[in-house]
Structures are given as structure tokens and as C-alpha cells.
Structure 1
Amino acid sequence: MASPPLALAQSPPHCWSELPLDLMQLIFERLSFTDFERAKSVCSSWLSGSRRSKPNNKIPWMILFPEEKNYCLLFNPEDKKEKLYKTQHLGDDLADSFCLATCRSWLLMYTFREVPFYILNLLTLERINLPISYVSDSPILWIDERSKDYLVISDDLVYFKKGDNSWKKISEELSDFHEGMVFKDHKLYCLTDDVLGVFDFSGEFPVKVYRVNVGGCVKPETRGQINMHDPWEFHHLRRRNNVVVTLGGDVLIVRSKSPAMSYSWNFRIFKLDSSNGKTKWEEMVSLGDEAILLDLGITVLAKDQEGLTSNSIYFTGDELNFYRTEIFVFNLDTKKVEQLPPLVSSSVSFSRARWFLPSFRND
């Protein structure tokens, strides 16, 4: 008997759930974080296919913390409808907690309860209570998604758990680095008025890599003339120096300035150049295709990314000590600051807004 025609023997699938695995993987890797999570729930076949894929997870999200609530609101810049997503119940003590730092979908939280510090996963609801009694106003959080090893770095102390559930508390010379810290690729970048210090945390103990003089890149804080009839925040920090690490590993110092009695900002960026065996700081006029997320101390690819503008600096009013939750972007081309569209009704009160890079689970 003759064999059936090839077209009949290998008829194409008539159902989306029957897509070949390699084709399904190509689709998943083109999806944003939101669409990736939605696609996983289509059917068991798609859930299985998602376990071999990663989403196009390059777009940062914004977390908004409603006052006296046990949930958060999430804003995805890719969403043209400016839609807010409400998280699950994040614990009875969330209303009394403050977010001090983020690491992907993990939050370092402080509460006034018996266990004051804990780490919370915004999406999976995993929680780790910390045996810490104090951290500075701007600590660093890092956590390994699989092992749950983590680092909490404060002004003058480093706490970490590694593998065997043991705690180590390390006193370092970090107390001098009060301007800002960034942790990326197991390296800690610390800034003072005079020097930039870099520490390597890839081993059992942190090792100092180098110290570089920051020269005229960093300016000390100044305060405006005090008028008792004005809100106190007008007299607070008028200058700020942030250390930023780019996608390519370059180290930047971002210097911000706001004139007294004003909500306008100006930014200057300096890049560390170590070519030809010498170290020097050169002022940058363009970030190219990247954008800075000031509170995370990193750059992200903004070219062809919906919702992000390249050659820009994203920050919140709170980052510059104005205690406001509005989201701003400073365009380095136009030298102007723009406020992003309001995300919620003015009747809703928020304690803080933060950027984070959503992480996902292959399950």
C-alpha cells in the first residue's frame, strides 16, 4: 500500500497548546515580564514550555506603597494604559513597614514590631526575618534566588548568611562611605566626598579592590537660607552625589543640584576612565542608548524599550530628600525635568515609591 502524502502524514497542529517546544521558547523569550506570567497560565503545555525560557525582563517597574495598607501597587512603564497592578496581601505588618532597599522582586523592610527587619518577595510572598537591630537610611540588599544567601550592607556593617544558615557580622571601613553605595556583580561601590572605594564580595570575606580619588566630581551638600514659614524639606539637601554602574561595568558619579526654594534639578555625570594605566574622571554629555535608575544605581537599556527614554535619568522626589512620591525623568538632551503622568487618584496617600526589576520563577 502506498504511503500517505507527506502533507497528511505531518499535518500541522490545530491548537496553540501543540506548538513545537523550540517555537514556543522563541515566543516566550520575546515576551515582557507581564505577558510571560500571563502566558504561563494558558495551559499545561505552555507552563511546561516556560520552564525552559526567560522573559525579556529589561524593563523596571515602580512600587507604590499606600499608607496603612497590606498590599502594594505596581506600575509597568510598558503599559500604555498606565494601569496599576495590585499585589496580594503582603502581611499584617506591611502597613507598619517601610521599604529600605530592593533586589529584583525582594524588598528589605523595616517595621516597629518585635522582628524589626525582614526580607519579603513581592511576588512569591516568601519572607526571611533578619537578626538585625539597626541599618542606615540607605542600605544595600542582595539575595540569591536559589540558595537564599543574602547580604545586608549598612554604613559601617555588613551582615550576611551563606549556605549553612550561619550569620556573619563584619565591621569594615565602610563607615566613611556616606555618600552612596551600589552593589552589582558581587562588587560594592562606595562613595565619599573624597574617594570611591570598591570591595569584592565574591569570596568568604569582602576584599578591598581599589580606592580612587574623586577629585572635583563630588560637591558637599549645601542648605538654603532658612525661613521658618516654609516646609522644612525646602532647607534640606540641595546637592546629592550618587554612584552608578552601567550595563558595561563603567563607574559613574551622578551629581545632582537643586537651587534653594526650588523643585527644579540639574544633573552632571562623570565617568571613571582607567585607560593608559591612569585613572581620571571625565564628564559625560550622553548616556547613549541607556537610562539611569538613580535609586538602584544602575543603567538599563532604553533604546526600543516601550515606556523608557534613552539618555535620561529617572528618579523620585523622595530620592532627593523632598519626601514626594512623584516620578521624574531628567532628559540629558533637553536639560529639562519632566514629571511622569500621575498614576493614581490624588485622594490616595503614599509613603514612598521605588523602582525594582521583577524576577520570575520557572514553575
Structure 2
Amino acid sequence: MDTPPNCDRGHWSELPMDLLRCLLERLSFVDFHCAKMVCSNWYLCSKQTLGSKAGSPMLIMSEKEGSYRLYNPEEDRVYEAKSNYRFLGSSGKWFLVVDSRSDLHIINVFSNERIRLPPLETVKSSLYKIERLGGDKGFNEFIIIEHEKFSSGNLVTAEDLRAVLWVDEKKGDYFVVWRFEECPYLRFCKKGDVHYHEISTRFDVQSGGLKDVVLKGNSLYVQTEHGYIRHLDLSGQHSFEDVWVINWHPVRMGGYRIISFSNNFAVTTSGEVLSVLAITSESSFERNRTFHLYKKQDTKLIKVDSLGDEALFLDFGITVPADHTLGIEPNSIYFTRDDRFRHKRVSCIDICVYNLATKTIKRFPSLYNLKLKDAQWFLPS
């Protein structure tokens, strides 16, 4: 918010409470959260003000490093933002970011709140050791055999980081899971940890490498390339506990002239696991994007035609209750890109909302002229 000529911040902080409350009530959701950080008086007044509700899920988008935009579909408005961070994952108003020094933080995008996480090299492992190189040169991974270090040949940087985040807004608890690209291990921490625990993703000879992850509270779900899904509980004091493993054979689609195809999974509010196929196909007239959902029943995969009163956010692999007052559309899939967790290059950005009942897609023309490197839905409320 710009300060008018001949007026300093001190004068703004002395506005009468009634006048300030009227001003705050007229602001958009994003402007309201920015305005309450002007000074302590504004922040106290915001606590007594019924600010603008988050009208809908929002997008964070990047065109180049250090330059980000927030998009509110309800207002059809793009907010400019500058940052030295690279965004990795989100949970509510909180984002997991990596800074120019390759350190991880959890930040609130609407305030100055920030949580610094343990350095990446503080991994408690009996097999791997991570050493930070000087400057911004990244990290080197070593294999430990009988207390001897052997280079694994993995020279990695912050660009190779893939991560997910979960924050409990009420309790203030959080879980962070990350890995370096192509590394067969996940690392995680929770609130209060001073180092990261390690999880091998090669839990079975036939399981294959890691394909996708979903973090829902203290529950981590890991999908392998060969179709296994493993459920882990991260809440224990000593590392993690396995809950179950299922062999989930990938769905194969026929009858399509397919341009692009992705097979992810999602977890519903009740804890049910769904296979999610996103298909870009070509007909005689146009290209179409369609989605297909499946669940496992005994040894078979059964097609799911409806999410009911829930919406699926594929960026973080979970469903949430639909809410018309917040603009969360029922029986819909919120989509931005084909691959959530693995690849360095974001493929096939297609920001849209797909309605499972009508099989129709809503897109956002205001975003067509943006040359986006990446985009992600998030739920600010």
C-alpha cells in the first residue's frame, strides 16, 4: 500500500478505529491481509473487522525466478509479487519455500510470519550423508559403508528439490517431506525436530522407484512406478511407522488418440485412495482434457463417477468439502499440470476446473497471455 504525499506511516496508524474498520471492510481478500501488516494498530483493528472472505481457491504462478503472481478467480484479478524464494508446496496460507542459500522455510504469504526449517544436510541416516558445498554450489551426497564415505555421484542443488507440506492452522503443527530428484530416499521433519528423518522408497524389490507422494496431516502416501501405494504414519517420536501397502496396478486406457497422459493418485476426506487419470486426447475437431477416477475394491479397479460434495485438488492430491460460499465447486477437479512431484520441467500447464458430472472444463482467459513456468492451486481459507 502506497503512502500519499506529505503523509508518513505514523499518521496512517493514528486513523480513528471506526474509519479504519470501514476502510478494511472494503478491501479484497488479498488487500485486507496485506493491509493488516501496515502497523500494530491496523493489525489489532483487523482482528475486530469482518474482512472479505476468500471467495475461491487461488493460484500462485511463476513466470521467472523471483517473480510471482497471485490470482483470485472470484475477482478475476492478478496480484504482482516479488520474492527471492522458490515455492515448493502449500497448505492453506502457508508455503514451503527454498531461499537463495538453499535453506527451507515455511512462510505465510499474507503476513510476515516465517518458520525456518533445519538445514538440508541435517539428515539422520545410516546410509547417506549430505554435505553442503560452498556458496550456492549445492550439495554432495555420500554413501556410508562401515563408517567410510564413498561419493554416490549425486551433485544436487536447490533446483532438484521436490517437497510437500501440511500445516495444522489451529494447533500450529506441521509436517514437511522432501527429496532430491532421482534420490531413492524421502526426508521429513515435523514441528520441534532439529534434523530430518529418512524413508527409503525402495521398500520392495519389485516396487520400483518413487512416482508420487501425498501428505495429509501426519499420513504420508507414497506411490511407486510399479503401482504400489504405501501408507506411513509420521507422528511417532521415533521416525515413522508403516500402516499398509497395497499393490495398485496402473489403469490402462484404450480408444483414445492420446497426446499426453498422467496417472496420479489422491486421498479423499474419508481416507479412501483414488487413481486419477488426466488425459489430453485429440478428436477430428479439437483437443480435449478428460479425467477418470478409480478405486480399488477387492482385487479389481472400479470407476468412480462422482466425488459427491467434495472437490479434488490434484496439486496436493486430496479432496476437500465443497463450499459454495468459498467458491469451492462440488464434484470437480482443480488442475494445473501433469506432474506433481518428480520432473524438473513442468509439463503441460493447463489451469482449469473439470466438472465430473457435466464433463465440462472451466478455464481462465485472463491467464492466457502469461508465459508461466509453474502454477499451483492453494486454499487460503
TM-score category (smaller protein): 0.5 to 0.7
Give the 5 Å matches for 1:129-168: 130-132=119-121, 133=139, 134=156, 138-143=162-167, 150-154=175-179, 156-162=184-190, 166-168=194-196
Query: Does 1:128 pair with 2:116?
Result: yes
Q: Secondary structure of the residue that 2:330 maps to in structure 1?
A: coil
Instruction: Give unpaired runs (5+ residues) of structure 1.
Output: 1-14, 19-23, 226-233
2:318 match: 298
2:68 match: 72
TM norm structure 1 = 0.66
1:214 match: 248
What letter matches 1:123 in structure 2? Answer: F
What letter matches 1:182 in structure 2? Answer: V
What letter matches 2:46 in structure 1? Answer: L
- Equivalent residues of 1:104, 1:358 under 8 A apart: yes
CA offsets, 1:155-181, max 9 Å, x none? Answer: 633334456552133142357462321
CA offsets, 1:206-245, max 9 Å, x none? Answer: 1110012224x5349xxx99xxxxxxxx6xxx33222212
Deviation for aligned residue 1:138: 4.5
- Equivalent residues of 2:61, 2:372 under 8 A apart: yes
2:129 match: none
Query: Does 1:169 pair with 2:197?
Result: yes
Query: Does 1:105 pair with 2:139?
Result: no
- Equivalent residues of 1:58, 1:357 under 8 A apart: no
1:6 match: none
2:302 match: 282
Distance change >3 Å, CA 291–CA 58, structure 1 → 2: farther
CA offsets, 1:5-38, max 9 Å, x none? Answer: xxxxxxxxxx9959xxxxx9xxx9xx99558638
Distance change >3 Å, CA 32–CA 285, structure 1 → 2: farther
Deviation for aligned residue 1:299: 1.7
**Whole-angstrom distance in 1 between the partners of 2:174 and 2:307:** 33
Query: Does 1:257 pair with 2:250?
Result: no
- Equivalent residues of 2:269, 2:318 under 8 A apart: yes
**Whole-angstrom distance in 1 between the partners of 2:166 and 2:42:** 34
**Whole-angstrom distance in 2 between the partners of 1:358 and 1:306:** 10
Query: Does 1:341 pair with 2:365?
Result: yes
Query: Does 1:84 pair with 2:78?
Result: yes
1:323 match: 347
- Equivalent residues of 1:158, 1:171 under 8 A apart: yes
Q: Which is strand-richer, 1 or 2?
A: 2
Deviation for aligned residue 1:353: 0.9
2:46 match: 47
What letter matches 2:353 in structure 1? Answer: V
Distance change >3 Å, CA 149–CA 167, structure 1 → 2: farther
**Whole-angstrom distance in 1 between the partners of 2:45 and 2:110:** 20
1:21 match: none
CA offsets, 1:231-267, max 9 Å, x none? Answer: xxx6xxx332222122333322212233479852222
Distance change >3 Å, CA 54–CA 47, structure 1 → 2: closer
2:356 match: 332
CA offsets, 1:260-318, max 9 Å, x none? Answer: 79852222112355xxxx67643211111222111111123335245443222121245
How many residue pairs get aligned? The number is 303
- Equivalent residues of 2:220, 2:231 under 8 A apart: yes
What letter matches 1:292 in structure 2? Answer: L
Deviation for aligned residue 1:198: 0.4
1:182 to 192, 214, 221: 214
Q: Which is helix-richer, 1 or 2?
A: 1
- Equivalent residues of 1:66, 1:350 under 8 A apart: yes
CA RMSD across the alignment: 4.3
**Whole-angstrom distance in 1 between the partners of 2:302 and 2:69:** 39
What letter matches 1:246 in structure 2? Answer: T
Distance change >3 Å, CA 59–CA 189, structure 1 → 2: farther
- Equivalent residues of 1:177, 1:190 under 8 A apart: no
**Whole-angstrom distance in 1 between the partners of 2:235 and 2:52:** 27
TM norm structure 2 = 0.63
- Equivalent residues of 2:222, 2:229 under 8 A apart: yes
Distance change >3 Å, CA 311–CA 32, structure 1 → 2: farther
What letter matches 1:206 in structure 2? Answer: F
Instruction: Give unpaired runs (5+ residues) of structure 2.
Output: 1-15, 122-138, 140-155
Q: Secondary structure of the residue that 2:33 maps to in structure 1?
A: helix
- Equivalent residues of 2:30, 2:110 under 8 A apart: no
**Whole-angstrom distance in 2 between the partners of 1:287 and 1:196:** 21
**Whole-angstrom distance in 1 between the partners of 2:96 and 2:287:** 29
Query: Does 1:61 pair with 2:94?
Result: no
**Whole-angstrom distance in 2 between the partners of 1:163 and 1:100:** 18
- Equivalent residues of 2:282, 2:288 under 8 A apart: no
**Whole-angstrom distance in 2 between the partners of 1:45 and 1:123:** 16
CA offsets, 1:314-356, max 9 Å, x none? Answer: 2124548873444122221232334222236x2x433211112
- Equivalent residues of 2:279, 2:291 under 8 A apart: yes
Identity of paired residues, percent? 28
